[in-house]
Amino acid sequence: MTTIVGTIIGNRVKNENILGGTIAILILLLIPIGIEFIRKTDPIVYYGLDFITLKKINIRSVLGLAGIVFVTIALLDFYVFDIWKIIHQNSKIAVGSTSMALAGSPYFYLSVFVVFGGTLLEELWFRGLIQYKIKSITYFKKVNPHLAIVLQSILFGLIHFIPIFYGSDFELKVKLWFFVYPTIIGLILGYTNEKYNSLWPGWIIHYTNNLCSILLFTILFKV
């Protein structure tokens, strides 16, 4: 889902017309929020996105973890799997296309908004609707939150992996990497959110990672 939205936005920005991509991401963003309002619950409190909860979070620790995640994944991407080179040479593929488009666009400042919306969207869907709802099922409460976290992380990995698997001719190890690293990130975000009982930490880590990716594109490729 997010990779499809990323491609839409990437193509729109390359054509200097971001309206279509922006509308698409806003619509998808409103779906999980709308579901919660239909359920007559308070999604802000339910997902721990209130400012009282934010004040209780150790921001330094969360940002430190965000830095570790970004540097580790970026180094593996660059030195082991040559992902940055692949994306640079194949800018039309879903993964990375949005980052490249925004990094090389006169609308670079919009990267803040696009990454803001995109990461919030994924957090609401995967760590929110999926993880929270599975965790709330009576049967799954017996196994604590672990199963919910694992299931959402696998789905998070698949949603990044499937477009690459069927839409590219990369060697198998590269394709599998597009499943493995989002799954690992999904686990990290899931357990971090569980620790604080809030989506704030995962969103901060996710947002930091994606925004830094755009900055890295700008530095490495001077797009």
Q: How do the pLDDT tens digits run along the chain, 223 residues long?
A: 444 445 444 444 444 444 554 555 555 556 666 666 666 567 788 888 889 999 999 999 999 999 999 999 888 887 777 766 666 665 545 445 555 555 555 556 656 666 777 788 889 888 988 888 888 776 666 667 888 899 999 989 888 787 677 766 778 888 888 899 899 999 999 999 999 999 999 999 999 988 887 777 767 665 4
Element (H, E) at 212: helix 200-221
CB hemisphere CA count around 144 (13 angstroms): 6
* The pLDDT value given to residue 7: 47
CA 99 to chain centre: 12
CA distance 205 to 39: 28
* The pLDDT value given to residue 121: 82
* The pLDDT value given to residue 2: 47
CA distance 135 to 147: 8
CA distance 216 to 74: 9
Residue the block writes with tokens 């672990």: 146
The pTM (predicted TM-score) of the whole model is 0.77
Any idea of the CA torsion for 145, 149, 151, 155, to the nearest 10 degrees? Answer: 160
Domain hosting 164: range is 2-221
Q: Which two tokens stand for residue 158?
A: 């698949």
* The pLDDT value given to residue 190: 95
CA distance 134 to 145: 9
How many structural domains are present in the chain?
Answer: 1
* The pLDDT value given to residue 84: 66
* The pLDDT value given to residue 15: 46
Q: Which two tokens stand for residue 190?
A: 């899931």
